[in-house]
Structure 1
Amino acid sequence: MFWSGTSFDEEDLKPGTGKFKDASKLYTNVDRINDEDLKRWVCKSKMIQWDYKNITKRKGVLLRLK
């Protein structure tokens, strides 16, 4: 699961509950893991982040961190 996964614009990542910007990919077998996808998603997770720390101060409004 990636906390900012819905912001990655990746078809294979499925959104979570909708309350946060999380998305994930479920693998049922190790052979199905695509290394290139994982590398790309980890790279995007470093670049695309949201300010969950101050979500209560902003009354549920998420702002993207730079």
Structure 2
Amino acid sequence: MFDRFFSAALVFCVLAGGTLAIGTAMLEQPAAEVLAVQLPRVEVTGKRPVPADKVAHADHAADAQVQ
């Protein structure tokens, strides 16, 4: 019987402690401002690879022209 009361009290204390810890962390004022750096935009240029079916088709067309 004691273990039921003890476990309920323990769970209540853990939940209350967690709530207090989260609450105090949310209400804390930040110690200093955070400096942010904004980098310039990067433009990536490139060509997409040719799909395999078009490569195979081009190979057959090249073979036909060679013969």
TM-score (norm 1): 0.26
Select the structure that is richer in helix. 2
Q: Which has the higher contact order (CA 8 A, sep 6+)?
A: 1
Select the structure that is richer in strand. 1
